[in-house]
A and B are shown apart, each in its own frame.
Chain A
């Protein structure tokens, strides 16, 4: 077991980070080059001012008409994304790992807060799952990959919660936790999770078209 632990917490971490960072850069750069060749319109009309204006309205909760039309979804989506990013970055247990490996550390969340936030992520995933199954317009668009992606995202939080509370078999679960986190990181550049870094691009481009050419709002 120690060997497996050493492997997932050693080389696999490196591999997953390399895939995540390298893959993300590769996706952005290759898309940028493809756009240069085939969609020069993006460069011609991209306007930082209007791109930021649009992005700003869409990263503020209830900043757009559609968010106000779906208050529950907005609330869940924002809490989900905030917790999803904040928990792994500011979890005390994770900071310790950074400290031990690299002797660096930063501000962290109290365990109780992080615990609660992990529950928000898990609860949100259940909400998204139910939404996929229940709402006809979402069900219609849903493919197997959507469930897989949801599982990839939920897994590190479920297993992390399990490990922290030391439920039965938590040692094995701890290994699965690390592994699932690595799977998620590696999946980001090559699945629809890439919306993480494509969001500013697509929103910014639409914001530019609406702002500078059409002189209208897009939120």
Chain B
């Protein structure tokens, strides 16, 4: 495996978006953009982080890329900062197109912005923030991986991630409603219900190709007697790849549309599906761009919402899931929102046997798909899979102790773990909490 890993680092990956992007660059443009960002968009945090880092290397082992690529120092968090920000500052922005290409690859395909290193740096230096600055510069220079830029275009044109047209989205919901009515005849997926308690928002892959998740949620909402709604207008999608490409203006537009949809429907709160990055965008990042210190309307992640339903006795377990499960803590809801104990409560409530993988909770390793990395598409797939051999080892260890199923309450984790499970031959099943809840809860006969 180690051999394969080093081979992939040396192999040049061709990405049209990046290559065409750097072809168009001029030295003047690079200088102009970098100086604009350094002068107008960043300040004290960047300066303090760079001045405070004592080059101790203690952040290294926090990074799954570093661990997976045989402790190659170029993949350590500070190593990535050295190759990008330090150089940019040292040369006062006077870097060439090749440098920008390498910087984009480092910041967007060798870092998941998982923020684990902030917990390992004695000073709490936020390397994810520093990598975001690099991404921002590359975005403004028009150097973005092609697949990611396509997603950003989709966001811009449709306000959703996957070019889902308005009628197709509505159609998917009505189709799932009809399907679910075979099971629960009076089930509804209430569209545009003004004044409902909850606005349920999803990421575009759900109506696009994981429609069963909407079906399962509809069943859960109906069984629990929740007063909920989904909008029939753009603004329904909570995902956000713009946040990761560096297109923060577009991120602002997306979050504004999302919050305004909730306001228009006069709901009490937004409940989101099992997605990590979208939660980060709505709860932590996008709101700040819109100058809301906290989201203008309460935001609840699915894990917390499920926890409420079970804890308050609104749903009950009919039959427990009988395979041994382990729990993948998604970065954006464990390190990002401390939902790990609620996740464990659910795993224990729903399954006969639950065992921990190590490390876990805030210290869990990233799936290597998050932070927009999986969104950079097929050219970077192997780099990403080999860049998380550490995760495969973590999973092998928990499998050896009997785990058969990985519960991963995050779409990116699903994508990332799915690739890892297949590539390394782990033979484990990956499930959303929603999958297990649907299978296990008491439903009206």
Contacts and interface: CB of A to CB of B under 8 A. Distances in A.
B310 interface: no
Contacts of A194: 51-52
A207 B124 contact: yes
A70 B51 contact: no
Contacts of B82: 140-141
A20 B73 CA distance: 35
Contacts of A214: 284, 335-338
A135 interface: yes
Given A38-B42, A137-B79, A139-B73, A216 B336 contact: yes
Interface string A200-215: 0111011100100111
A42 B49 CA distance: 13
A77 to B, nearest CB: 8
Interface string B253-292: 0000000000000000000000000000000100010000
Interface string B91-135: 000000000000000000000000000111011111000000000
Interface string A114-147: 0000000000000000000001111111110010
A70 B58 contact: yes
A94 interface: no
Interface residues of A, number: 48
B55 A206 contact: no
B53 interface: yes
A69 interface: yes
B272 to A, nearest CB: 16
A142 B51 CA distance: 14
Contacts of A64: 119, 122
Contacts, number: 131
Contacts of B79: 137, 140-141
Interface residues of B, number: 46
B178 interface: no
B338 A199 contact: no
A4 B334 CA distance: 61
- Which of B78, B119, B337 has most A Cβ within 10 Å? B119
A137 B57 contact: yes
B7 interface: no
Contact of A39 (B44, B54, B119): B44
Interface stretch (A11-19, A29-37, A84-92, A104-112): A29-37
Interface string B57-100: 11011100010000101101011001000000000000000000
Interface of A: 31-32, 34-35, 37-39, 41-42, 44-45, 54, 58, 64-66, 69-70, 73, 135-143, 146, 192, 194-195, 198-199, 201-203, 205-207, 210, 213-219
